């Protein structure tokens, strides 16, 4: 039979071991929580390609930040940095001439809450340097596309200036413009002189100078030309939904 | 056959809407959407946008010329 003193010592040691075990479990639980919250995943529901989602990928081009869409100045080389708060293990871009897929991207980790991919894009061939050649970008995680971006470029064959009212912003554009809004919302483009238009949709006008239209679904191109044969290219992106991403699990 | 192809822009969104809300497994849905993606990708590609922009420019300039000649 054990002595009472030895028994008390054994009980106290057992209580101490339990406290250590509890502390370890609490630490493990907290670590698990912090790790899962550091890896926000996009919604796992399959993306429906028939649905046109909002282009909202953050892209920094030569130091200028764009959210989802933009018209870039005419240059031979651009430095792109793609950033997303959602995990990314694959990034791809496609233009009229080539597709590049990259899997060596910096995903979300314990040390960075933002997934990044930096690359230099050079317009190498004549195909890319002449005529419209838009750039579309896609970020994916675990095989699911979750963020997109769309860029057009200034073009020497489209030099007609226009004034644009698009999705709460008002700006002047020199020949090429991109306007993204929820489909069905009213946008406008106006010119200093009368123009004729042709495109995926026929924007209504009462004076051939100002065109007020509802953004149709998907990618739509309209070209406006004036008497001097100067033209403006407008791409309207009418999205149906914003891709809902899960912040954490 | 050509009538079916012409009706695809109406049929596909309805079919997609039904499949999205159906009781099929996520795997089956993914397979369907992957197939659909390949089917419609070409229509929306940057190369297609380039062709459209060039065609529309020619059409708009033709309208300008016609107006001048009136």
Residues of A in contact with B67 (CB under 8 A): 196
> Which run of H or E residues covers position A18?
helix A4-38
Query: Nearest residue on chain B to A99, judged by CA atoms?
Result: B46
Between the CA of residue A99 and those of A32, A67, A94, what are the distances in Å?
Answer: 38, 21, 4
Q: Is A219 in Cβ contact with B49 (below 8 Å)?
A: yes
For residue A248, the model assigns a pLDDT of 40
Lowest mean pLDDT among A17-26, A76-85, A134-143, A218-227: A17-26
Q: Which of A4-18, A93-107, A136-150 has the lowest mean pLDDT?
A: A4-18
Q: What is the pTM of this model?
A: 0.77
Q: Is the predicted ipTM greater than 0.90, yes or no?
A: no
Q: How close is the nearest chain B Cα to the Cα of A85, in Å? A: 24
Q: Are A149 and A57 in contact (CB under 8 A)?
A: yes
DSSP code for A216? P
Q: Do A231 and B41 touch (CB under 8 A)?
A: no
Show the tokens assigned to A148: 């997109």
Which residues in chain A have their CB less than 8 angstroms from residue B36's CB? 48-50
Distances (CA, A) of A84 to A65, A199, A249: 13, 33, 18
Q: Tally C-beta pairs within 8 A across A and B.
A: 95
Residues of B with CB under 8 A from a CB of A: 12-13, 16, 20, 26, 29-30, 32-33, 36-37, 40-41, 44-47, 49-50, 52-54, 56-57, 59-61, 63-64, 67-68
Q: What is the C-alpha to C-alpha distance for residues A180 and A208, in angstroms, rounded to an integer?
A: 22
Instruction: Name, in order, each residue with C-beta under 8 angstroms of A191's C-beta and a sequence gap of 6 or more.
Output: A160, A161, A162, A163, A209, A210, A224, A226, A232
B61 chain-A contacts, CB cut-off 8 A: 225, 229, 231
Q: Which of A37-46, A59-68, A85-94 comes out lowest in average pLDDT?
A: A37-46
**pLDDT (tens digit per residue) in A1-27:** 556 677 776 777 777 788 878 877 777
CA dihedral A197, A198, A202, A206 (to 10 degrees): 10
Chain A residues in contact with B41 by the CB 8 A cut-off are: 49
Which of B52, B64, B68 has the CB atom closest to A221's CB atom? B52
pLDDT in tens, B13-55: 788 778 777 778 777 777 777 777 766 665 668 999 999 999 9
What is the distance in angstroms between the CA of the first residue and the CA of the last residue of chain B? 42
CB contact under 8 A, A197 and B60: yes
Q: Which residue in chain B has the smallest CA separation from A144?
A: B30
Hey, which bits of chain A come out as E strands? 58-61, 64-67, 69-72, 77-84, 90-94, 99-102, 115-122, 135-141, 144-153, 161-166, 169-174, 176-182, 186-190, 195-199, 210-214, 218-226, 231-239
From the list A243, A246, A224, the residue with the least C-alpha distance to A234 is A224
Nearest residue to A82 via CA among A173, A151, A171, A168: A151
Mean pLDDT estimate for chain A: 87
Question: Which range among A10-14, A34-38, A87-91, B8-12 has the greatest average pLDDT?
Answer: A87-91
Radius of gyration of chain A from Cα atoms? 27
């Amino acid at each position: 039979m054990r002595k009472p003193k030895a028994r008390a010592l054994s009980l106290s040691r057992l209580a101490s071991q339990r406290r250590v075990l509890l502390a370890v479990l609490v630490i493990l639980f907290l670590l698990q929580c912090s790790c899962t919250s550091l890896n926000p995943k996009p919604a796992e529901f399959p993306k429906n390609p028939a649905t046109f989602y909002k282009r909202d990928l953050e892209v920094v081009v030569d130091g200028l930040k764009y959210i989802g869409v933009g018209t870039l100045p005419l240059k031979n080389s651009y430095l792109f940095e793609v950033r997303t708060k959602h995990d990314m293990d694959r990034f791809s871009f496609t233009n009229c001439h080539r597709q590049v897929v990259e899997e060596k991207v910096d995903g979300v980790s314990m040390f960075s809450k933002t997934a990044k991919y930096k690359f230099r894009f050079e317009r190498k061939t004549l195909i890319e340097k002449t005529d419209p050649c838009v750039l579309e970008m896609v970020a994916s995680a675990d095989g699911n596309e979750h963020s997109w971006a769309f860029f057009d470029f200034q073009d020497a064959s489209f030099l007609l200036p226009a004034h644009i009212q698009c999705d709460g912003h008002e700006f002047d554009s020199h020949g090429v413009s991109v306007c993204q809004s929820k489909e069905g919302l009213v946008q406008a483009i106006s010119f200093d002189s009368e123009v004729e238009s042709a495109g995926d949709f026929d924007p209504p006008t009462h004076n051939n100078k100002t065109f007020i239209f509802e953004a149709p679904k998907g990618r739509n191109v309209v070209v406006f030309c004036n008497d001097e044969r100067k033209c403006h290219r407008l791409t309207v992106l009418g999205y149906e939904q914003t891709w809902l991403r899960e912040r954490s699990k | 056959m050509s009538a079916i192809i012409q009706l695809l822009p109406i049929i596909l969104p309805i079919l997609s809407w039904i499949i999205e809300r159906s009781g099929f497994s996520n795997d089956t849905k993914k397979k369907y959407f992957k197939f659909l993606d390949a089917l419609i990708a070409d229509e929306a590609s940057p190369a297609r946008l380039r062709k459209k922009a060039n065609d529309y420019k020619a059409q708009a300039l033709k309208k300008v010329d016609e107006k001048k000649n009136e």
